[in-house]
Amino acid sequence: MKKTQTVSMVFLLVLLATSLVFAENTFVEWKTLNQKVAELYHAGNYDNGVAVGKKALELAEKSVGSCHPSVATSLNNLALLYRVQGKYAQAEPLYKRSLVIYEKALGPDHLMVATSLNNLALLYHDEGRYLEAEPLFNRALAICEKTLGPDHPVVAKSLNNLAGLHYVLGRYAEAEPLFKRALAIYEKTLGPDHPAVATSLNNLALIYHDEGRYTQAEPLCKCALAIREKALGPDHPEVAMSLNNLAELYRAQGKYKQAEPIYRRALAINEKTMGANHPEVGMGLNNLGALYYFQNRYVEAEPLYKRALAIYEKTLGPDHPKVATSLNNLALLYRVQEKYTKAEPIYQRALAINEKSLGPDHPEVATSLNNLAELYRFEEKYAKAEPLYKRALEINEKMLGSNHPCVAMNLDNLAALYRDTKRDKEAETLELRAASIRVTQQ
C-alpha cells in the first residue's frame, strides 16, 4: 500500500512586484488578479486559477513588456497551477522563461532567481528527474546563503527542498542533517512555536518513520501537531497534515485503533475548510481507506477509495498521477479479494496514466509495473509477470540508485517469482542482495 503523505516541500507562489513601471490602476488590477490566483490555488480550483493567471500574464506583458520581472511573477504563478494538475509539459517552459527573465533583469544571484530555481527543481522532482533537480536546488541554496547569510529562514526553506530530494532518493543519511539544520534555523529565528518549526519536525519524523525509528518519530509528530494547533487553530489544513502524519505512524505500527479517530479528524478538517471535493480530501479518504485495507475491512475501504478517485478525476483530470495512485489502491483491494478480472484493467489504466504523465522511467511507473506483475504472479501468469518485475527493478535502480529501499522490494518480489517457478538459486541471489540493501539503510 502506497503512503500518501510525503515530505513537506516549499511551494513558492509569488504574488508581488514593484508598481513603479505600471500605471497605478493597471498595477492594482494586476495585483488583484494575482491575489485571486492564490485564492483559487488554495481552494483547489485550478482550472479557474489558470484562466485568471493567463489574464494576469497578458496584462503584465501588455503593460511592462515581455522581459519585466512582473511578467516572470505571472509566469511562475501560472506554471504552478499547471504543475499541481500534473501538466508538466505546460509548466516547464513557463518556469524556464521566468528564470531567464529574472536572471537577465535582476542578476544571477538575486533571491527571485533562487525562487525560480526552486520552482523549476520542484517540477523536475515531481517528474522524477532527480538528477536535473539536484543542481538547481544546490544553486538556489547557495544564492540564499550568499545573499541572506547562513541562518535566514529562506535558507531553511532551500535546505528543506534539498533534503526532501535526498529523502525521496532514500539518502536518509544526507537528508537528516539538512532537515536538522533547517529546524535549528527556524527555532532560532522564528521561535520554537512557529509553524515552520512544525514543518521541519514533520519532515524529520518522516525519515525516522521510514527507517522504523518509531519511538523517535512519535514525539516529533506530536510536537508538530501541538505547534500547529496553537499557532493556527484546531481546524487548519496544516493541523490536518500533522494529524495524518501521526495516524500514519500509528498505522505503520499496527496501532489501528489509535490511528482511526486521528485520520477521521484530519478528513473532517479538510472537508470543512476546503470543501468536499478538494484534492486534500481525496488524500484523507485514501489514507482512511488504507487503514481499513490493512485491517481487512475491505467493504468499508472500497467506497472511500472510489470517492477519492472521483475527487481526483474531477479536480485534477483523468490523467493525473494522483488518479493513478487511487486506481492502484482500488485495484490492490480487488486483488487481495481475488477479484482478478476487476483488478487487471484498473492496474493497466494506472500504468498507462503514469507512463503518459510522468514518462517511462519514473519510479511511479515502476510501482505500477510491480503492482501489475504481482497480480499476474498471484494468477500464476509467470511469463507475463517476470518482464514487468524486471522493468520495475531497472527503473528504480536507474532513477533511485542501487541501494534504495524500493530496489530491495523489487528484488524480493522478483525472487518470489523465481521461488514460485522453482528457480531457487536465482531467488537466493536476489534475496541476499535485498537483505544487504536493508542493512545499509539501518
Q: Which cell is 182 given?
A: 533547517
Predicted local distance difference test score (pLDDT) of residue 187 = 98
Mean pLDDT of all residues in 310-334: 94
Mean pLDDT of 306-315: 95
pLDDT-derived band at 316 (thresholds 50, 70, 90) equals confident
Q: Are residues 178 and 68 in the same domain?
A: no
Taking residues 236-240, what's their average pLDDT? Answer: 94
Pair 135, 77 in one domain: yes
Between 6 and 378, whose confidence is greater? 378
Q: Is residue 242 part of a domain?
A: no
Structural domain boundaries, residue 118? 1-144
DSSP state of 212: T
The Cα–Cα gap between 258 and 249 comes to 10
Domain assignment present for residue 338? The answer is: no
Of 184 and 170, more confident: 184
Over residues 329-334, mean pLDDT: 97
Q: What's the pLDDT at 23? A: 65
123 and 190 assigned to the same domain: no
Claim to verify: residue 41 and residue 115 sit in the same structural domain: yes
Q: Do 138 and 180 lie in a common domain?
A: no
Least confident of 5-9, 54-58, 233-237, 386-390: 5-9
Q: Is residue 160 part of a domain?
A: yes
Instruction: Indicate the residue among 209, 232, 255 that finishes a domain.
Output: 232
Residue 356 lies in a domain: no
- Mean pLDDT of the region 382-410: 95
169: Cβ contacts below 8 Å, ≥ 6 apart: 130, 400, 401, 404
| Residue 24 in this model has a pLDDT that exceeds 80 | no
123 and 100 co-located in one domain: yes
For the ranges 15-24, 94-103, 364-373, which has the lowest average pLDDT? 15-24
Which CB contacts under 8 angstroms, 24+ apart, belong to 16-22?
16/73, 17/69, 17/70, 17/73, 18/69, 18/70, 21/63, 21/64, 21/68, 21/70, 22/63, 22/64, 22/70
Handedness of CA 257, 258, 259, 260 (dihedral sign): positive
- CATH number of 195's domain: 1.25.40.10
Q: Tell me, what amino acid is at 282?
A: G
Residue 280, domain member (yes or no): no
Last residue of a domain, one of 232, 265, 281: 232
Mean pLDDT of 202-230: 95
Q: Could you give the percent of the chain with pLDDT greater than 70?
A: 94
Say how many domains are in the chain: 2
Q: Are 255 and 246 a contacting pair, CB within 8 Å?
A: no
Position 3 pLDDT exceeds 70? no
C-alpha cell at 332: 490492490
| 19, 139: one domain | yes
Pair 139, 155 in one domain: no
Pick the closest to residue 178 from 158, 198, 196 (CA basis): 158
Residue 92 lies in a domain: yes
Q: Is 246 within the bounds of a domain? A: no
Tell me which amino acid residue 128 is. G
CA separation for the pair 60, 69 (Å, rounded):
9
Return the C-alpha cell found at 125.
Answer: 522532482
Weakest-pLDDT range from 11-15, 200-204, 273-277, 390-394: 11-15
User: Do 11 and 117 fall into the same domain?
Assistant: yes
Query: pLDDT higher for 357 or 394?
Result: 394
Question: Torsion-angle region of residue 387: left (phi > 0), alpha (psi -120 to 50) or beta?
Answer: alpha
Number of C-beta neighbours around residue 211 at 10 A: 15
What share of the chain in percent tops pLDDT 90? 81
Looking at 127-171, list the stretches that DSSP marks H as alpha helix, in order from N- to C-terminal side. Answer: 130-148, 153-168
Model pLDDT, residue 21:
54
Query: Residue 130 carries which side chain, given as an amino acid letter?
Result: Y
In this prediction, residues 137-147 reach a mean pLDDT of 97
Total residue count of the chain as it appears in this document: 442
Alpha-carbon torsion, ordered 298, 300, 303, 309, to 10 deg: -60
Both 167 and 209 in one domain: the answer is yes
How does residue 111 score in pLDDT terms, banded at 50, 70 and 90? very high
Of 210, 232, 254, the residue at which a domain comes to its end is 232
One domain, residues 94 and 16: yes
Give me the residue label for grid cell 530530494. 165
- Diameter of the chain measured on Cα atoms: 77
**Domain match, 121 and 159 both:** no
Q: What is the pLDDT of residue 240?
A: 96
> How confident is the model at residue 210, as a pLDDT?
87
- pLDDT tens digit string along 243-270? 999 999 999 999 999 999 999 999 999 9
Q: What is the mean pLDDT of the chain?
A: 92
- The yes-or-no verdict on residue 12 having pLDDT over 90 is no
Quick one: pLDDT at residue 2?
47
Residue 266 domain-assigned? no
Asked if 43 contacts 278 with a C-beta cutoff of 8 angstroms, the reply is yes
